[in-house]
C-alpha cells in the first residue's frame, strides 16, 4: 500500500519545528509501524537527507522507549499496544497519517519525534522506591503477602514509563504514571513504611516538573499501552490526603 505521512521535523529544542510530507510507497501490511519508518528513513538517507529521529529500542512493547502521537492518538489506534507493536495492516492504501512527538511542556522536544522524558526519572528519584540497601534482607518468605495484593501491585508495576498518559492528557498531567508507582509500593507491606513520605514527595516533584493537575477525564487510561487503570489515581489521592493531614501540612 502507499501512504502519505505528515511528520513533525524539528532540528533541536531551540529551533521551531514544522510538518513535512513524505510518501511511503509499497508498505507491507506485515511491517510494524517503526519498520515502516525505517524504510522511509532508508530512502531519505539514500538521497543524502537526514533520517527522521524517533526513540525506540526493544521493539517488543516493554522498554517504553518508543512514543509517537499517531493521528492524534498516543501509540496509534490499537488499544493497549505500544507503537512498536502496531502493525501496518490496520491501515489501508491511500491513508494519510500524521505523526507528532509527545506534546507536553515537561517533555521538551530534543529532535523531530524525540522528547526529553527525564522528568519521569526525577519523580522516581523523589521517592519511588523502598529505601533498602543491598544485603541484610530477611528471607523472602518471612513476609507473606496475599496473592490478590501481589497481583494488584503487579498490575500497577507493569507501567513502562513511556509517557503516553501525559501526551493524552489535555492538562499534561503525570498522575497516572506517578500513582502507578505509588500504588505498586503501597499495595505491598514493604512499601508501607515510607508510604506517607513517598506520596508527598512524589506529588511535589510532579508539580515541580510542571505537569498539570488531574481533572478526571480518563484519556490517560485509554492511551496506556499497559492498561494501567484510573483507580491508581484515586488511591494516590486518598494516600495524599491522609499523609497531608497526618503531617499537618495542609
Partner 1 sequence: MSIKLNSKIPAGPLDDKWTRYRQEMKLVNPANKRKFDVIVVGTGLAGASAAATFGELGYNVKAFCFQDSPRRAHSIAAQGGINAAKNYRNDGDSVYRLFYDTIKGGDFRSREANVYRLAEVSVHIIDQCVAQGVPFAREYGGLLDNRSFGGAQVSRTFYARGQTGQQLLLGAYQALERQIHLGSVKMYPRTEMLDIVLIDGQAKGIIARDLVTGKIEAHSANAVVLATGGYGNVFFLSTNAKGCNVTATYRAFKKGALFANPCYTQIHPTCIPVSGDHQSKLTLMSESLRNDGRVWVPKKLGDNRHPGQIPDDARDYYLERKYPSYGNLAPRDIASRAAKQVCDEGRGVGPGGRGVYLDFSDAINRFGKHKIEERYGNLFEMYERITGENAYEQPMRIYPAVHYTMGGLWVDYELMSNIPGLFVIGEANFSDHGANRLGASALMQGLADGYFVLPQTIAGYFAGQKNGRYPNDHPEFRKAEEEARSRINKLLSIKGKRTVADFHRELGKLMWDDVGMARTEASLKQALKRIPEIRHEFWENVNVPGSASELNTALEYAGRVADFLEFAQLLAYDALEREESCGGHFREEYQTEDGEALRNDEKFSYVAAWEFKGVDQFPELTKEPLVYEEVRMTQRSYK
Q: List binders of partner 1 among 76-135 (CB under 8 A).
A: 78, 81, 85, 87, 89, 110-111, 114, 116-118, 120-121, 124-126, 128-135
Q: Where are the alpha helices (DSSP H) in the chain?
A: 33-46, 118-125, 147-157, 164-168, 175-186, 189-192, 195-208, 219-223, 231-247
219: nearest Cα among 164, 156, 179: 164
Nearer to partner 1, 45 or 96 (CB): 45
Secondary structure (3-state) at 176:
helix
Task: Give 214's contacts (C-beta < 8 A, 6+ positions apart).
Answer: 169, 171, 173, 175, 233
Within 13 Å, how many C-alpha atoms sit on residue 85's CB side?
Answer: 15
What is the nearest approach in angstroms of partner 1 to the Cβ of residue 108? 11
What length is written for the chain?
Answer: 250
Nearer to partner 1, 185 or 214 (CB): 185
**Residue 48 interacts with partner 1 (CB under 8 A): yes or no:** yes
**Residue 5 interacts with partner 1 (CB under 8 A): yes or no:** no
Nearer to partner 1, 58 or 105 (CB): 58
Mask: binding to partner 1, 173-202, rule CB under 8 A, as x and -?
A: -----------xx--x-xx-----------
Mask: binding to partner 1, 204-243, rule CB under 8 A, as x and -?
A: ----------------------------------------
What is the nearest approach in angstroms of partner 1 to the Cβ of residue 170? 24
Nearer to partner 1, 111 or 214 (CB): 111
Q: Which helix (H) or strand (E) holds 70?
A: strand 69-70
Nearer to partner 1, 131 or 216 (CB): 131
What is the nearest approach in angstroms of partner 1 to the Cβ of residue 201? 10
Which residue in the set 20, 96, 143, 245 belongs to the binding site for partner 1 (CB under 8 A)? Answer: 143
Helix axes 175-186, 118-125, angle to 10 degrees: 30
Nearer to partner 1, 125 or 215 (CB): 125
Number of residues binding to partner 1, judged by CB under 8 A: 77
Helix axes 231-247, 195-208, angle to 10 degrees: 110
Which residue in the set 2, 28, 215, 247 belongs to the binding site for partner 1 (CB under 8 A)? Answer: 28
d(CA 72, CA 82): 14
Amino acid at each position: 500500500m502507499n501512504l502519505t505521512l505528515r511528520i513533525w521535523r524539528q532540528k533541536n529544542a531551540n529551533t521551531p519545528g514544522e510538518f513535512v510530507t513524505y510518501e511511503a510507497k509499497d508498505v507491507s501490511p506485515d511491517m510494524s509501524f517503526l519498520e515502516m519508518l525505517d524504510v522511509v528513513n532508508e530512502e531519505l538517507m539514500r538521497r543524502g537527507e537526514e533520517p527522521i529521529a524517533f526513540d525506540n529500542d526493544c521493539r517488543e512493547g516493554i522498554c517504553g522507549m518508543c512514543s509517537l502521537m499517531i493521528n492524534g492518538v498516543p501509540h496509534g489506534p490499537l488499544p493497549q499496544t505500544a507503537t512498536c507493536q502496531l502493525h501496518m495492516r490496520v491501515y489501508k492504501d491511500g491513508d494519510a497519517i500524521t505523526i507528532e512527538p509527545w506534546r507536553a511542556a515537561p517533555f521538551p522536544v530534543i529532535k523531530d519525534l524525540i522528547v526529553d522524558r527525564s522528568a519521569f526519572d526525577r519523580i522516581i528519584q523523589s521517592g519511588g522506591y523502598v529505601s533498602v540497601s543491598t544485603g541484610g534482607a530477611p528471607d523472602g518468605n518471612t513476609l507473606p503477602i496475599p496473592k490478590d495484593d501481589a497481583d494488584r501491585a503487579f498490575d500497577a508495576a507493569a507501567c513502562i514509563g513511556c509517557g503516553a498518559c501525559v501526551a493524552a492528557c489535555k492538562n499534561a498531567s503525570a498522575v497516572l504514571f506517578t500513582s502507578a508507582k505509588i500504588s505498586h509500593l503501597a499495595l505491598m507491606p514493604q512499601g508501607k513504611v515510607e508510604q506517607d513520605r513517598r506520596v508527598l514527595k512524589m506529588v511535589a516533584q510532579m508539580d515541580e516538573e510542571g505537569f498539570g493537575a488531574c481533572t478526571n477525564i480518563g484519556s490517560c487510561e485509554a492511551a496506556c499501552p499497559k492498561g494501567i487503570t484510573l483507580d491508581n489515581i484515586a488511591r494516590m489521592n486518598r494516600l495524599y490526603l491522609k499523609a497531608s493531614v497526618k503531617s499537618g501540612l495542609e
